[in-house]
Amino acid sequence: MSEATAPKAVEAPLTFLDDRLGSTTFFKRNMKKVFPDHWSFMLGEIALYSFIILLLTGTFLTLWFKPSMMEVVYDGSYTKLQGVKMSEAYASTLHISFDVRGGLLMRQIHHWSAILFMASILAHMLRVFFTGAYRKPRELNWLIGIGMFTLGMLEGLFGYSLPDDLLSGTGLRITQGVAESIPVVGTYIYMFLFGGEFPGQDIVPRLYMLHILLIPGLLLGMVTAHMMIMWVQKHTAMPVKNQTEQKVYGYPFYPVFMAKTGAYFLFVFGICALFGAFVQINPIWLFGPYDPGAISSGSQPDWYMGVLEGALRIMPNWEVSAWGHTVSFNVLIPALVPLGIVFGGAAAWPFIEQWVTGDKRHHHVNTRPRNAPVRTATGIAAVTFYGLLWLAGANDVLADKFHVSLFATTWFFRVTFFVGPFLAFVITKRICLGLQRKDADVIGHGVESGVIMMSPDGRFSERHENARDEEKVVILSKENTRPEAPARDAAGIPAPGTKGPIGHLRSRLNRAWTFDDIPVEEHEHEHGEQAEIEGGATSHEVKH
């Protein structure tokens, strides 16, 4: 906590609150709460701020949007659709776009904010994963985050389905297919969701209620919980000088962090507004009203559903019929398995890691990705897995724009879906270990100084100098693996955690996690050639 005090104008209202809410000095104290500074810590804030923009613009849109599947004949100002029969939902979206002042801008800001909301959550989650910020005690916040991303996917799907245009109707048709593919209860779920045969009259009003009431409410609650937990647990910090597991090093909330985060809100708002003003998104008037008999090429969902689309596109057409029932693996597997692996795996990961490494300590300082090679490699494998499916979702656009055969792209993704993640794992792990070796080298031998020395016998060599303190602190933040406790003690009794097949598995995984770790540590005495090159005393005193 900083010693800085706020001016009276700030302190007085806080004291007022503290006095009346019985929160003793909570507000006053927390004005000085310290936040560590790093650009990647702002990624989550994009999500928070775009969520606020979504709430505001969404409220504006509800003033004119009519969630109704009643058929009407359009007679608004978009001449190309005049006299066309369409649902009231579609007509009111056209009305918002062309006849409400600022309506199109609001619609576009709303949609772009949604794109940025989901993108920033994913970027934030990747940051948290690769720095190990999900470790104890922050597993719950990690789970809440995964829950918010999943809810965000649903929220987005329901949101862009509301205008009842050709593209969103195609998306709903796939949603219906996925619901129907669930064995045994599929048709019941589909009939319950749509209230009858597809598309029916009920789906848009139902999605509307979920989109503007239930899911935003849940998200708001989860955002609040996420922020409160973060506030109580304190933000993790990067391994920099002055930062320890016990003490947070950074700037106080008032006045520094407050100004920074306030400015960042304006940045996020500004970029959403610029996008909304200058870049067209979801031009429903070009798609036309939904008609179950029509479809367009290039029908893709918004980016966060792309991974499901890709899985569906590359899935072989497997169907099994038995005893008068059909199980559509061709839809069921792509809908459940890939995202199940990614989200289920992500949710279980903190606990798996804890179990494998046996590390039950609290962590407040982040790990550099290179110092946890297995974690980083697994993360990159998951990114590859997700990324390939995501690209496969755009395979017709890729085929068209890059002039390759559509079938070739399908087979490319079918093969790389299996091969890619393994390759990514191996390559990433080697890169991490290589970087560890470089760190060990910097600590053990210093950095190249660019000074060429000649020894008395005429040999040339470059003088190495100690790394800067700041650099050293970062590099030495690596926690070297300790030698594993022997599986059996001297009396031949196995250690408690190693018994049985589960214990055996744990030992194996633990070895895989640690066996190729490169120790990075300072040596007390320079050895051999190194000492000779540096020529003794001077080099240690040279500082940048």
Count other Cβ atoms within 10 Å, centred on residue 145.
22
Least distance in angstroms from the C-beta of 176 to other proteins? 19
Nearest by Cα to 410 from 420, 397, 395, 390: 395
Site membership for other proteins, residue 399 (CB under 8 A): yes
Least distance in angstroms from the C-beta of 448 to other proteins? 27
Count other Cβ atoms within 10 Å, centred on residue 105.
16
Q: Which of 57, 92, 93, 108 binds other proteins (CB under 8 A)?
A: 108
Q: Which of 222, 281, 333, 447 binds other proteins (CB under 8 A)?
A: 281
Find the binding residues for other proteins in span 117-176 (CB under 8 A).
119-120, 123, 166-167
Size of the site for other proteins (CB under 8 A): 74
Site membership for other proteins, residue 343 (CB under 8 A): no
Q: In a 3-state reduction of DSSP, which class is residue 464?
A: strand
Please, are residues 203 and 176 in contact by the beta-carbon 8 Å criterion? no
Q: Is the dihedral of CA 152, 157, 163, 166 positive or negative?
A: positive
Least distance in angstroms from the C-beta of 249 to other proteins? 8
Site membership for other proteins, residue 209 (CB under 8 A): no
Reading the block at residue 22, the tokens are 């019985």
Cβ nearer to other proteins, comparing 194 with 287: 287
Strands 320-322 and 460-465: what pairing?
unpaired
Reading the block at residue 73, the tokens are 């004949």
From 12-20, 249-257, 347-355, 363-371, span contacting other proteins (CB under 8 A): 249-257
Cβ nearer to other proteins, comparing 116 with 356: 116
Reading the block at residue 205, the tokens are 């009003």
Site membership for other proteins, residue 41 (CB under 8 A): yes
Find the binding residues for other proteins in span 80-99 (CB under 8 A).
80-84, 97-98
Give the phi and the psi of residue 340 in degrees, each rounded to 5: -60, -45
Q: How far apart are CA 32 and CA 2, in angstroms?
A: 6
Site membership for other proteins, residue 542 (CB under 8 A): no
Site membership for other proteins, residue 279 (CB under 8 A): yes
Q: How far apart are CA 270 and CA 262, in angstroms?
A: 12
Find the binding residues for other proteins in span 475-514 (CB under 8 A).
none
Cβ nearer to other proteins, comparing 19 with 470: 470
Cβ nearer to other proteins, comparing 91 with 533: 91
Q: Which of 14, 31, 42, 207 binds other proteins (CB under 8 A)?
A: 42
From 218-226, 274-282, 486-494, 534-542, span contacting other proteins (CB under 8 A): 274-282
Q: Which of 104, 312, 315, 443 binds other proteins (CB under 8 A)?
A: 104
Q: Which of 112, 142, 349, 425 binds other proteins (CB under 8 A)?
A: 112
Find the binding residues for other proteins in span 43-72 (CB under 8 A).
43, 46
Instruction: Write down the residue that tokens 């490494």 correspond to.
Output: 357
Please, are residues 417 and 388 in contact by the beta-carbon 8 Å criterion? yes
Least distance in angstroms from the C-beta of 533 to other proteins? 36
Site membership for other proteins, residue 273 (CB under 8 A): no
Q: How far apart are CA 257 and CA 267, in angstroms?
A: 15
From 143-151, 276-284, 337-345, 354-362, span contacting other proteins (CB under 8 A): 276-284
Site membership for other proteins, residue 537 (CB under 8 A): no
Please, are residues 112 and 275 in contact by the beta-carbon 8 Å criterion? yes
Q: How far apart are CA 75 and CA 91, in angstroms?
A: 9
Site membership for other proteins, residue 396 (CB under 8 A): yes
Least distance in angstroms from the C-beta of 385 to other proteins? 18
Query: What are the start-end ranges of the H helices in 288-405?
Result: 306-314, 329-339, 345-357, 373-392, 395-401
Nearest by Cα to 269 from 26, 415, 51: 51
